[in-house]
Amino acid sequence: MQAVGKVQIVYADTEIVIVNKPGGLLSVPGKGSDKVDSVATRLRMIFSDMIDQPAVHRLDMYTTGLMVYARTREAHRNLSIQFEKRSIQKKYIAVVERRLTRNSGKICLPFRLDVNNRPLQIYDPVQGKTGITLWKKLSCDSSTSRIEFAPLTGRTHQLRVHSAHRLGLHAPIVGDSLYGSGSDGDDMLLCAVSLGLLHPESKRWMRFDLAPNF
């Protein structure tokens, strides 16, 4: 791995860059001069030919793990279609705030943005769009459980909402300051540990895996 600031480059070629995003860094620039620093911004400083908007998906600021960025418009279009068709495979590891009695399951929960309390997402069976997540328990102790998530959709805050809501796991992710008992700036124990995709140019299936740091 090559280090770029706090960002680790896992793989790079002329079409795509795979990174291991650290917690506390935005995936893309936000609004305001204090939110310019991001993975996308740092990569464009390294790869001078990278397109202006290279992101095809995002991880929340305090989520860590694997992301893919496009270097060309053609790669961006191809990867966006793969995400739209749900052909890209993703897995996450998380630690949640409760000892779970169930071992696995499927969460189908409709939610939407709370326009009066951005960026909070709220359960709404009428106007919400359904997020779908497969999960299984890997281990547990007296007060927490280690979970593997396989999201089938890519809604904003999906895993965080599905973890915290009473109709989901009813167990917020450890360190989540929005849906759990964490404080702003805490390490959130959620990591994107596996990413599988078709290379936009060669059409070769590629899979990347890493171990979380918790």
**Model pLDDT for residues 92-139, shown as the tens digit of each residue:** 999 999 999 999 999 999 999 999 999 999 999 999 999 999 999 999
Cα torsion for 127, 106, 25, 146, to the nearest 10°?
140
pLDDT per position as a tens digit, 53-105: 999 999 999 999 999 999 999 999 999 999 999 999 999 999 999 999 999 99
DSSP strand pairing (190-198 vs 64-70):
parallel
Give the residue ranges of DSSP H helices in 14-93.
39-46, 73-84
Cα angle: 66, vertex 183, 32; to 5 degrees: 65
pLDDT at 3 over 70: no
Q: How far is CA 6 from the centre of its chain?
A: 17
The pLDDT value recorded for residue 114 is 96
- Say what the pLDDT of residue 26 is: 94
pLDDT computed for residue 137 by the predictor: 98
- Tell me: the pLDDT tens digits for 158-176? 999 999 999 999 999 999 9
Q: How many residues are given for the chain?
A: 214
Domains of the chain and any CATH numbers: 2-86 (3.30.2350.10)
Residue scoring higher pLDDT (57 or 33): 57
Mean pLDDT of the chain: 94
Is the pLDDT at 144 greater than 80? The verdict is yes
* pLDDT surpasses 70 at 147: yes
Cβ burial of 119 (10 Å; 0-12, 13-18, 19+) is: exposed
Query: Which residues belong to the active site?
Result: 60
- The pLDDT of residue 47 is 96
pLDDT on residue 146: 98
CB-neighbour burial class of residue 46 (10 A; exposed 0-12, middle 13-18, buried 19+): middle
Phi, psi dihedrals of residue 35, rounded to the nearest 5°: -120, 25
For 155, what's the count of Cα atoms within 13 Å in the CB-facing half-sphere? 26
Tens of pLDDT, residues 40-53: 999 999 999 999 99
Q: Quickly list H helices, 141-198.
A: 158-164
**Cα–Cα distance for residue pair 188/179, rounded to 1 Å:** 11
Tell me, what's the pLDDT at 4? Answer: 47
Q: Are 156 and 120 in contact (CB under 8 A)?
A: no
E-assigned strands of 99-203? 104-113, 121-123, 129-140, 145-151, 190-198
